[in-house]
Chains A and B, each alone.
Chain A
């Protein structure tokens, strides 16, 4: 049962698989984690499996990246270039998308399962070093992980010649310093290398040209935290959770105008309605849900009608209502919220976070922020709304990395799907003039 709600919200037979500290609060202690079977998967892969077999199991499990793009994890590991050495693993703990707060809870509450996932990934691609890149604000969390890593070293779970084999592995933390763009995997690699955190031109992709120019797998924290379970219980078991094309469990970060915001670990394919109303306790106050953003500030705005509420949250279904699941950071917006105000908020974010490397994104986010500002202030006309739409269309698809496109999602879908809100804002200015 869920401690907060008393509801059976866990992913598997009432047991958490990722947020296991909610069942066992002391699971962040090494002996407790080990007593519950922790690091058996780690020992098993090193002592009894070939690296390629590990990758195959993850491939068969159907696990897809939880950082946003949903790329099949095992396939990514299989892309690693075995003609170029050494290899690296980078765990993406940048977690800076507005509305996303799941990786932080995993690392705080269940750090060893995450670190075990990092280790298994490293073994699968035969990397001897892995870096955990945390956003700079996770300063205390980095110190906590450093202690957990030291405990693993002291217990012979990390270091040289592990379990009597020739395989060695070290895990290091690396702190960012306040830049959303460093969550983009190639900007992250540049940042670790001590350069400006700006994305690289791709291809080549990290599995052939990654950290220090060497083959690298970059995976999200939540993605990696699934891996020990898959090794322990098998690919078939994992596939049996979730939907056919979206296997497994997912942590949904629920925020905004709901009674009980928080992280909810549920099977992929759970509906928006169940998340928001059953688990999240419904909309705060006397309000109705008006819109939903499923992937944080980078989302298209979903019109929250009955059809949308009944849509399963998985990688295939969310596009049917004109959006993406992304990192599953579900922001709930009630009917008191003005969409132009909301879009202006997102534009502040993207303008602040554009790394400035390409012109359409740098200039476009600047203009979109100012235009939305004018609309919110009530000094705009309908032509300004058209102009805003034009600018967004000029940014979309013309940028080096996905941030540029992200910045246009709420703008374009907001104007298209919530036009009356814009007309109202503009009419307000007609009255004021």
Chain B
């Protein structure tokens, strides 16, 4: 399924690496497999393994090693607030708490509609623009810098609307 649906993109990815080093394509292929639902299905891992000539256990261990890959269904969007040292010195922890209070959830929880999960993460290389967070979805990552609780809450509201229409269009969560 995966292999057929994305055959052109898979070929383009493979062409970046020497033919005898196909395994090097595993990371971009996992991103591709995660695009629609923000997690990698067992089936996709098997197909990636076949394309690369490695075992699906190998693929699963790569998925497990890196924090931006997921092997389970989760929220449509992840709001990842940096609370690492430099940002914490500029009020990032209070910002995260304020945002969670505003949304009525705790850190690590998802809004009741399943749309947005809010979590704390390590440094995102934007320490001079705290408070800041990134939004991860299956098809990308975006940075949001110099935030206030209000600006972040209105972005979350927008993400929840988007998630709803995504679901209506049958893209799953």
List residues of A whose CB falls within 8 A of some B CB.
Answer: 95-101, 103-104, 129, 135-140, 172, 174-180, 191-197, 212, 253-257, 261-263, 297, 331-333, 337, 342, 345-346, 349, 352-353
Q: How far is the CA of A129 from the CA of B143 in the complex (A)?
A: 30
Select one of A136, A180, A332 contacting B68, CB under 8 A.
A136
Contact: A136 with B25, CB < 8 Å? no
The 4 closest A-B CB pairs, nearest first, are A178-B67, A177-B66, A194-B23, A261-B128
A337, B54: Cα distance in complex, Å: 50
Is A193 within 8 A of B23, CB to CB? yes
**Chain B residues, Cβ within 8 Å of A174:** 16, 27-28
Rounded to whole angstroms, the CA-CA distance of A322 and B126 in the bound complex is: 27
Given contact pairs A98-B84, A342-B85, A176 touches B122 in the complex (Cβ within 8 A): no
Contacts A191-B27, A261-B86, A297-B85 supplied; 11 other A-B pairs, CB < 8 Å: A100-B125, A100-B127, A104-B126, A129-B18, A140-B143, A174-B16, A177-B30, A177-B69, A193-B23, A196-B65, A297-B84
B24 with A194: CB separation less than 8 A: yes
User: Which A residues are in CB contact (< 8 Å) with B125?
Assistant: 95-96, 100-101, 103-104, 135, 137-138
Say whether B52 faces chain A, with CB atoms less than 8 Å apart. yes
Which one of B18, B26, B65, B141 contacts A179 once the chains associate, using CB atoms below 8 Å?
B65
Shortest distance from the beta carbon of B74 to any chain A beta carbon, whole Å? 15
| Alpha-carbon separation in the docked complex, A179 to B62 (Å) | 11
**Contacting pair A139 B141 (CB below 8 A):** yes
Q: Which one of A98, A104, A261 lies within 8 Å of B122 (CB-CB)?
A: A98
Shortest Cβ distance from residue B10 to the other chain A in the assembled complex, whole angstroms: 14
B103 contacts A by Cβ under 8 Å: no
Q: Which of B61, B128, B140 has the most CB of A within 10 A?
A: B128
B95 interface residue per 8 A CB criterion = no
Taking a contact as CB atoms closer than 8 A, the residue among A135, A262, A345 that contacts B88 in the complex is A345
How many A-B pairs with Cβ below 8 Å? 131
Separation of A342 and B66 alpha carbons in the complex (Å): 26
**A256 touching B89 in the complex, CB below 8 Å, given contacts A97-B123, A196-B61:** yes
Contact of B128 among A193, A212, A263, A337 (CB under 8 A): A263
Interface contact A96-B123, CB-CB below 8 Å: yes
Binding site for A on B (CB under 8 A): 16, 18, 21, 23-28, 30-31, 52, 54, 61-62, 65-69, 84-86, 88-90, 122-128, 134, 140-143
B86-A139 in contact (CB<8A) = no
On whether A178 and B85 interact (CB within 8 A), knowing A193-B24, A352-B122, the answer reads no
Q: What distance in Å separates the Cβ of B16 from its nearest Cβ neighbour in chain A?
A: 5
**In the bound complex, CA of A140 to CA of B141 (Å):** 7
* Shortest CB distance A346–B (Å): 6
- Is A175 in contact with B31, judged by CB distance below 8 angstroms? yes
Q: List 6 A-B contacts (CB under 8 A).
A: A98-B84, A136-B66, A193-B24, A194-B54, A256-B86, A256-B89
Which chain A residues lie closer than 8 Å to B88 at the CB level?
345
Residue among A140, A193, A197 making CB contact with B66, cutoff 8 Å: A197
Do A262 and B128 form a contact, CB below 8 Å, given A194-B62, A352-B122?
Answer: yes
- Contact yes or no, A176 B66, CB < 8 A: yes
Distance (Å) between the CB of A137 and the closest chain B CB?
A: 5
Residue of A nearest to B59 (CB): A194
Are the CB atoms of A194 and B123 closer together than 8 Å?
no
Write out the residue numbers on chain B whose beta carbons fall within 8 Å of the beta carbon of A345: 84-85, 88
Q: Are A179 and B85 in contact (CB under 8 A)?
A: no
A262 to B66, CA, bound (A): 29
- Looking at A137, A193, A254, A333, which has the most chain B CB atoms within 10 Å of its CB? A137
Q: Select one of A95, A138, A331 contacting B86, CB under 8 A.
A: A331
Task: Point out the residues of chain B lying under 8 angstroms from A180, CB to CB.
Answer: 122
Beta-carbon nearest neighbor of A284 in chain B: B90
Q: In the complex the two chains form, is B66's CB within 8 Å of A179's CB?
A: yes
CB pair B24–A255 under 8 Å, yes or no, is no
**Contacting pair B127 A333 (CB below 8 A):** no
One of B69, B85, B124, B142 near A331 (C-beta < 8 A): B85
- CB neighbours (8 Å) of B141 from chain A are 136-137, 139-140
Determine the distance from Cα of A263 to Cα of B27 in the docked complex, in whole angstroms: 31
Closest-CB distance, A261 to chain B (whole angstroms): 4
* Known contacts A176-B27, A253-B127, A256-B89; A212/B16 CB under 8 A: no
